[in-house]
Structure 1
Amino acid sequence: MSYEFDFASTLAAWPQFLDGAWLTIQLSFPATLLGFVIGTLCAIGRRGRIGWIARACGAYVEVVRNTPLLVQIFLVFFGLATLGWKVSAFTAALVSLVINVGAYSCEIMRAGMDSIHKGQVEAAECLGLSRRQVYWHVILRPAMEKVYPALTSQFVLLMLASSITSQISVEELTAVAARVQSDTFRPFEAYILVAVAYLALSLLMRAGLWAFGQLIFTRRRRLGAQGAGR
């Protein structure tokens, strides 16, 4: 049995793949930002002294982390429509991704915050820093710096998981590949191209997040420079 690759017809659909890649970025970028904000707030809530907030944040994390993303997307898309709130497929996909990555970001950030020694907090309080200053300078920023590699991996996984939104007809990369292969009858070539596209997006996203980390974490940049000089 032999198979002859023919990418000509598939490559001719490059404008469609480009549109799909752009929609994937439009889903991933805001979901990353909003999910991180929600996750950080939930991490603060879970570590706080207000019981009902801690329990609510914990319930949110456990429910999201123990249910499939596809089910969450269906719940948002079809559930809201059943309740009379009709939203577009793109909006439902974005909301679902934000909810999903928010729960994972919460646990990552909570682990980072728990790693901060209590002595550092007590020392900052003795210096007269306000509660807000202590949280920002002593807990939040150092915690984020410690778990930044884990956050980066989670955000890349989010971008890859956005392919599932094709199940509700969001025209991202995977949906485009499905349409192209049905038009060209070249499924192998279509999905090879989309795999290469996802790989390129992953590498670009990792590079961008690495550059952002170097920009905002001066200590990480300084330690990296010292390590390179040895």
Structure 2
Amino acid sequence: MTLDFSVVTGAWQSLLLGTVGTLFLAFSGMALAMIIGVLGVVILRMQLRLPSLLVNAFIEIVRNTPFLVQIFFLFFALPLAGIRLNPTLTAILALGVNGGAYAIEIIRGGVESVPKGQTEAGLALGLHKHEVFRLIVLKPALRAIYPSLSSQFILLTLTTAICTSISAYELTSVGQRIEAETFRSFEVYFTLTGIYLVISLVTMWLLAAIGRRAFSYPQR
């Protein structure tokens, strides 16, 4: 067997567009996951029985079922409910739902790590509960959980490869098309592995730089 990487070098534009598609899915899915995560924590902190039960049920269902099953469920169940989304929007929704369940647990752990004395001090200063949560609780909590959220984002980026199962446009779907046209499986998937590795390493470096700038303590 002779290796022929010209099949992937000749398709570099398609691979570049696929990489952009993967990053779009990842960033959009993580943005939705963060919204779900913050809202979920707010609901849990309200300590209302039924809403808290629903949030906890959501967490357990999502965390204990495969992502592939979740994305198929949304892809086939939403049209039955009269909601028709294209594969890309369905993939973003599935990524957001999956990441949101983990984000709730991560953010809740960070919020609970903030000493209650800080909350009481904020209330004593006359701040509203929402201001206390946003200014005194949430930012210190985000500083504590930022590494975990960064790791979750990397994982979500790699999970986008599964979105090819519903024909969402991303890097793996492009690779599958090239492989189907050329029958050069090793060259295609070896290249995809390298691209995903570069994406992960560059993203980790960027997130670490953002974390140092956004959550560093002021210098005296």
Question: Scaled by the length of structure 1, what TM-score is found?
Answer: 0.90
Aligned to 1:162: 160
1:44 touches 1:110 (CA, 8 Å); kept in 2?
no
In the TM superposition, what whole-angstrom CA distance separates every residue of 1:70-106 from its partner, at most 9, and x where no partner exists? Answer: 1111111111123332221111111111111111100
Aligned to 1:133: 131
Residue 31 of structure 1 aligns to a residue whose secondary structure is: helix
2:87 corresponds, among 76, 89, 96, to: 89
Aligned to 2:148: 150
Unaligned runs of 5+ in 2: none
Aligned residues: 220
Q: Percent identity?
A: 38
CA separation in 2, counterparts of 1:87 and 1:120?
A: 44
Q: CA deviation at 1:127?
A: 2.8
Aligned to 2:30: 32
| 1:177-192 correspondence to structure 2 within 5 Å | 177-192=175-190
Aligned to 1:66: 64
1:32 touches 1:155 (CA, 8 Å); kept in 2?
yes
CA separation in 2, counterparts of 1:87 and 1:180?
A: 26
Q: CA deviation at 1:119?
A: 1.9
Question: Scaled by the length of structure 2, what TM-score is found?
Answer: 0.94
CA separation in 1, counterparts of 2:56 and 2:188?
A: 42
In the TM superposition, what whole-angstrom CA distance separates every residue of 1:139-161 from its partner, at most 9, and x where no partner exists? Answer: 11101100100000001100100
CA separation in 2, counterparts of 1:155 and 1:28?
A: 7
In the TM superposition, what whole-angstrom CA distance separates every residue of 1:29-80 from its partner, at most 9, and x where no partner exists? Answer: 1111121121111012122222222111111111111111111111111111
Please state if 1:76 is matched with 2:48.
no
In the TM superposition, what whole-angstrom CA distance separates every residue of 1:97-138 from its partner, at most 9, and x where no partner exists? Answer: 111111110000000011111122222222333212211222
Aligned to 1:44: 42
Residue 22 of structure 2 aligns to a residue whose secondary structure is: helix
CA separation in 2, counterparts of 1:204 and 1:36?
A: 21
Is 194-203 or 158-167 further displaced after alignment? 194-203
Residue 163 of structure 1 aligns to a residue whose secondary structure is: helix
CA separation in 2, counterparts of 1:203 and 1:22?
A: 16
CA separation in 2, counterparts of 1:78 and 1:169?
A: 13
CA separation in 1, counterparts of 2:81 and 2:132?
A: 43
Q: CA deviation at 1:4?
A: 2.7
| 1:202-217 correspondence to structure 2 within 5 Å | 202-217=200-215
CA separation in 1, counterparts of 2:88 and 2:104?
A: 24
1:10 touches 1:184 (CA, 8 Å); kept in 2?
no
